[in-house]
């Protein structure tokens, strides 16, 4: 049925009467008495106006006889224009209640008890969102000197109710027929291909789209814009296109090439072709204003431009990788998230953990150069272990009753859900890396746990059911496991408890080691429960040197696991850091490992990811006092001979934590000096960058050389930046951030160069170039410019988009001690304006946590606590506050305990304290600079 309504003037909304309520005592969930099965959604949309009109007709089934219907409609954004809705065109049901907190509206049908199947028709008018990027919102961009307006949707997790009355929970899946009337100068995109295109009077067009697959409301999507499209050259059974503003047409190459390949990889992996999911359309759309990074709307994936658009022949390696991994993540959601959907947001990891697995797995299947599955270890796993070591961290699955409000639902889109929810540690370690944990003797192909994991339990039930849950997943895994293993028991604490184990390996006699476990935490908390886990143990010894990550033991809670080794052998546990745990060794075993790392021949036999793991584990274990820092730095000293990306990524991450926390300028100088010595020794004779990983490594190392004060590096940045101001080009765009940051930081005229870069930002048509400039402007050492830069994020009509506010803040507070001081003061003075301006884009919580991670002195910590405690009415602060306070408490205690100890360790390594100056230009550092013309540059 095609709904028709007159072209009415779009007047300001007259909101319905709302009932004041106490949100704390409210249930934000809908009852299950009424369940939708189909929507006809008819919208009249003009991006030039402030609001839009709509009619929604919902086919629903009454599960329990009732005289009322409850559904979602946000009273702040949507006005039900007729207080009398019609059921089956005959029964009049009156709008009797609108709850402003829960956003639940109630229609009562007097003298009628509803049973069976019915149609509900509601007319409404709604505002386009302009204060945030949720619901149906406006975005603007300039092209050829003219301002262009578009409207786009972002409904996950709870914002579909802003655009139309609906049952806005993921379990209420339904099909959708969408109709959009719009001005002729615009085009409209929706989840499905067009079915009909009707020309109307008044310069209007009406488009009807094909019926969607059965899906949740958060996946409904629309874009009304003047975008251009680029078709993929791949010929497949699906329709793949990339859409963006016209001036970005030349930046669609990476997305156009890799997207179809990634779709086919998913189809091959799962055995379910994309088009058989129920939709042949696979459109990728770059939106200028988009705060969510990317969103997996079925058939109409939306991205912030930086996550979709490349930079032509200037595209850096990191930019290309980010585009490919983001597309891989969002496409994977069509199988895991869209087709099979979580039941409630308390289990967000069921969507995001699977997608994160494919984000890092699939790029390696379309290109041999990315090595993204390896990068997951140093980029995601080692990072989430830091987050999960805090007592206030959330578990993978929260109690359903704990995730009630929209803010609480948003809080589950965190690092835990994405990175701890990553499926690799689960599927490989426990079940599919060794036959003894499965019914068959043979190893399982990885696809069995993922592609069959939901559809085997029981197959017919899951295919026909709306949604899934951890219990269904565990049932499927039980079908594929040996009967002796109770999968639910094994996985219970991994899923429902926060934290992770520290496995300690002790040599108990000359030929036996014993493994024991305890919870690892960075903060002592006597009230914290001592959780134990079933742990998949993989290991190798110096006699074996086989680093294939096979599970060789399943360590049970409250037990010792013993392993036989040769008398003088080293043992390394958690191969390729595939397991979600840290490993400590006794002094003798650490000595053996360190000796192997310092032996050129022996070191090369240790897998590169385990070299990274050893560094990450030992520094974090030292951080909590379970091993001395002298041992950690003794191990790290081998870095003078290390040239691989992964160990250096872990090492520099460990050094980052120490910098700024030692509480003593002499100690800080010692730390910089020893780190630069390692870099200089390791990269004396680095070859020309040839691979993707080489480029990532070189830009990382060069950035740190400048950060540590290496004079030749800084001179290179200054000279290259000065040349760029004249020529507008760089010899290597992989190093643009280094050149811009340290060129600006060491400028002889900070305001001139700041204004120059900001002008480049304003005029650039490349979102990636703009992003790099934003991350560089905070490098200035002029406090007035830093304050001005932060103020730009609060200025109306600013060139800095709202979604980029957290980038501005983070680059200011992370670039220097001065920046940290300026950022904290700015937050104090402008907290209410920041909260209001950044509302709906989840930036404030990130700013609070980011600042907290860098505060160590009592005065600054108390200032931050005052901000947190004084603004508990701001939900983002309320939710992020406990974690921020935990972090600051730990940092303060750590500095007091370890600052002077580390100074002593570094002095002993460095020699005379007089040598602890910031490094001078007397060392040799030859860093490979991948460049079309220059092979490399040499530090003297």
Active site (catalytic) residues? 330
Does 352 carry a binding-site annotation? Answer: yes
Which residues, at least 6 apart from 366, have a Cβ–Cβ distance to it below 8 Å? 258, 261, 262, 265, 324
Which 8-state DSSP code applies to residue 168? -
- SS3 for 797? coil
Alpha-helical (H) ranges within 67-158 are none
Look at residues 411, 393, 402 and name the one whose alpha carbon lies nearest to residue 500.
Answer: 393
Is residue 495 a contact partner of residue 396, using CB atoms and an 8 Å limit?
Answer: yes
Task: Tell the residue number behind the tokens 């940051």, with chain if given.
Answer: 741
Look at residues 246, 326, 252, 333 and name the one whose alpha carbon lies nearest to residue 294.
Answer: 326
Cα 255 to Cα 222, 241, 258, 290, 335: the distances in Å are: 20, 9, 6, 17, 20
Does 329 carry a binding-site annotation? Answer: yes
Is residue 475 a contact partner of residue 469, using CB atoms and an 8 Å limit?
Answer: no
User: Measured between alpha carbons, how far is 133 from 493 in angstroms, rounded to an integer?
Assistant: 36
User: Measured between alpha carbons, how far is 111 from 107 in angstroms, rounded to an integer?
Assistant: 13
For 149, what's the count of Cα atoms within 13 Å in the CB-facing half-sphere?
A: 12
Is residue 919 a contact partner of residue 670, using CB atoms and an 8 Å limit?
Answer: no
User: Measured between alpha carbons, how far is 488 from 447 in angstroms, rounded to an integer?
Assistant: 21
Sheet (strand 239-244) strand order: 228-231, 239-244, 281-287, 300-304, 294-295
User: Measured between alpha carbons, how far is 212 from 193 in angstroms, rounded to an integer?
Assistant: 9
Is residue 573 a contact partner of residue 505, using CB atoms and an 8 Å limit?
Answer: yes
Look at residues 791, 771, 775 and name the one whose alpha carbon lies nearest to residue 783.
Answer: 791
User: Measured between alpha carbons, how far is 830 from 280 in angstroms, rounded to an integer?
Assistant: 48
Which 8-state DSSP code applies to residue 641? G
Q: What would you measure as the largest C-alpha separation in the chain, in angstroms?
A: 92
- SS3 for 447? helix
Phi, psi of 689, deg, nearest 5: -65, 125
Provide the Cα torsion 718, 758, 154, 328; round to 10°: -20
- SS3 for 117? strand
Alpha-helical (H) ranges within 484-556 are 487-496
Which residues, at least 6 apart from 468, have a Cβ–Cβ distance to it below 8 Å? 340, 341, 342, 343, 350, 454, 462
Does 692 carry a binding-site annotation? Answer: no
Cα 675 to Cα 15, 648, 670, 898, 916: the distances in Å are: 61, 11, 9, 18, 12
User: Measured between alpha carbons, how far is 449 from 182 in angstroms, rounded to an integer?
Assistant: 45
User: Measured between alpha carbons, how far is 43 from 163 in angstroms, rounded to an integer?
Assistant: 10
Is residue 364 a contact partner of residue 860, using CB atoms and an 8 Å limit?
Answer: no
Is residue 141 a contact partner of residue 226, using CB atoms and an 8 Å limit?
Answer: no
Which residues, at least 6 apart from 401, have a Cβ–Cβ distance to it below 8 Å? none
The alpha carbon of 173 is separated from its chain's Cα centroid by a whole number of angstroms, namely 25
Which residues, at least 6 apart from 235, have a Cβ–Cβ distance to it below 8 Å? none
For 249, the token pair is 């047409």
| CA dihedral for 852, 855, 858, 862, sign (positive or negative) | negative
The alpha carbon of 797 is separated from its chain's Cα centroid by a whole number of angstroms, namely 28
Is residue 72 a contact partner of residue 166, using CB atoms and an 8 Å limit?
Answer: yes
Q: Enumerate the known binding-site residues for Zn(2+).
A: 329, 333, 352
Binding residues: 329, 333, 352
């Amino acid at each position: 049925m095609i709904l028709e309504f007159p072209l009415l003037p779009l007047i300001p909304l007259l909101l319905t009467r709302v009932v004041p309520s106490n949100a704390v005592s409210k249930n934000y969930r809908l009852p299950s008495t009424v369940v939708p099965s189909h929507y006809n959604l008819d919208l009249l949309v003009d991006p030039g106006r402030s609001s839009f009109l709509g009619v929604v007709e919902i086919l629903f089934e009454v599960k329990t006889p009732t005289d009322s219907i409850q559904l979602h409609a946000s009273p702040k954004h949507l006005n039900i224009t007729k207080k009398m809705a019609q059921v089956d065109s005959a029964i009049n049901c009156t709008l009797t209640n609108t709850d402003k907190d829960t956003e639940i509206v109630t229609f009562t049908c007097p003298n009628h008890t509803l049973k069976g199947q019915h149609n509900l028709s509601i007319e409404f008018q709604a505002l386009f969102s302009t204060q945030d990027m949720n619901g149906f919102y406006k975005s603007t961009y300039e092209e050829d000197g003219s301002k262009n307006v578009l409207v786009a949707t972002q409904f996950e997790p709870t914002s579909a109710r802003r655009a139309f009355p609906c049952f806005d929970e993921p379990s209420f899946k339904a099909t959708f027929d969408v109709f959009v009337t719009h001005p002729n100068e615009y085009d409209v995109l929706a989840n499905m291909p067009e079915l009909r295109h009707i020309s109307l009077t008044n310069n209007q067009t009406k488009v009807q789209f094909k019926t969607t697959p059965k899906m949740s409301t958060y996946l409904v999507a629309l874009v009304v814009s003047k975008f251009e499209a680029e078709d993929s050259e791949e010929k497949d059974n699906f329709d793949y296109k990339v859409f963006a503003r016209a001036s970005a047409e030349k930046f669609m190459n990476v997305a156009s090439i890799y997207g179809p390949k990634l779709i086919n990889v998913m189809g091959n992996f799962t055995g379910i072709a994309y088009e058989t999911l129920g939709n042949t359309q696979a459109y990728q759309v770059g939106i200028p204003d988009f705060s969510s990074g990317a969103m997996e709307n079925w058939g109409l994936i939306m991205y912030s431009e930086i996550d979709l658009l490349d930079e032509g022949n200037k595209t850096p390696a990191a930019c290309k990788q980010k585009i490919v991994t983001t597309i891989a993540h969002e496409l994977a959601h069509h199988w895991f998230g869209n087709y099979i959907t979580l039941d409630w947001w308390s289990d967000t990891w069921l969507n995001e953990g699977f997608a994160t697995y494919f984000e890092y797995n699939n790029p390696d299947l379309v290109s041999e150069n990315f090595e993204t599955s390896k990068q997951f270890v140093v980029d995601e796993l080692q990072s989430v272990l830091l987050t999960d070591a805090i007592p206030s961290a959330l578990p993978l699955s929260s109690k359903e009753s704990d995730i009630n409000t929209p803010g609480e639902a948003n809080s589950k889109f965190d690092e835990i859900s994405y990175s701890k929810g990553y499926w690799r540690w689960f599927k490989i370690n426990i079940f599919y890396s060794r036959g003894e944990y499965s019914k068959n003797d043979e190893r399982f192909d990885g696809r069995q746990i993922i592609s069959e994991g939901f559809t085997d339990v029981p197959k017919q039930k899951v295919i026909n059911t709306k949604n899934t849950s951890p219990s269904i997943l565990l049932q499927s895994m039980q079908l594929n496991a040996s009967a002796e293993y109770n999968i639910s028991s094994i996985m219970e604490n991994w899923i429902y408890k926060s934290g992770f184990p520290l496995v300690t390996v002790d040599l108990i006699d000359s030929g036996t080691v014993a493994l024991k476990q305890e919870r690892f935490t960075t903060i002592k908390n006597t009230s914290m429960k001592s959780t134990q886990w079933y742990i998949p143990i993989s290991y190798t010894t110096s006699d074996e040197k086989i680093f294939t990550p096979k599970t060789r033991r399943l360590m049970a809670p409250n037990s010792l696991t013993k392993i036989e080794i040769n008398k003088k052998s080293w043992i390394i546990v958690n191969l390729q850091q595939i397991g979600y745990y840290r490993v400590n060794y006794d002094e003798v075993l650490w000595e053996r490992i360190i000796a192997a790392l310092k032996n050129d021949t022996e070191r090369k036999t240790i897998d590169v990811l385990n070299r990274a793991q050893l560094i990450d584990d030992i520094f974090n274990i030292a951080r909590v006092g379970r091993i001395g820092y002298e041992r950690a730095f003794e191990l790290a000293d081998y870095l003078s001979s290390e040239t691989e990306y992964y160990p250096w990524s872990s090492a520099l991450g460990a050094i980052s934590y120490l910098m700024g926390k030692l509480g003593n300028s002499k100690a800080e100088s010692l730390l910089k000096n020893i780190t630069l010595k390692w870099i200089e020794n390791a990269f004396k004779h680095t070859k020309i960058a040839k691979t993707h990983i080489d480029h990532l490594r070189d830009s990382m190392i060069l950035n740190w050389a400048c950060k540590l004060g290496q004079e030749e590096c800084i001179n290179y940045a200054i000279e290259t930046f000065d040349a760029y101001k004249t020529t507008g080009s760089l010899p290597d765009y992989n190093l643009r951030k280094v050149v811009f940051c340290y060129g600006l930081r060491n400028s002889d005229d900070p305001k001139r160069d700041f204004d120059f870069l900001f002008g480049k930002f304003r005029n650039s048509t490349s979102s990636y170039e703009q992003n790099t400039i934003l991350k560089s402007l905070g490098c200035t050492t002029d406090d007035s410019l830093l304050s001005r830069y932060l103020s730009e994020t609060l200025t109306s009509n600013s060139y800095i988009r709202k979604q980029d506010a957290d980038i501005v803040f983070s680059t200011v507070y992370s670039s220097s001690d001065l920046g940290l001081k300026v950022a904290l003061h700015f937050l104090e003075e402008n907290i209410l304006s920041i909260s209001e301006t950044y509302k709906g884009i989840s930036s404030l919580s990130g700013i609070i946590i980011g600042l907290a991670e860098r505060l160590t002195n009592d005065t600054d910590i108390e200032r931050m606590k005052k901000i947190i405690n004084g603004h508990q009415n701001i939900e983002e602060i309320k939710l992020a506050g406990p974690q921020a306070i935990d972090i600051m408490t730990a940092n303060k205690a750590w500095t007091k305990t370890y600052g002077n100890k580390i100074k002593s360790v570094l002095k002993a390594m460095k020699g005379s304290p007089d040598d602890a100056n910031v490094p001078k230009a007397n060392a040799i550092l030859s860093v490979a600079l991948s460049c079309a013309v220059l092979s490399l540059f040499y530090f003297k």
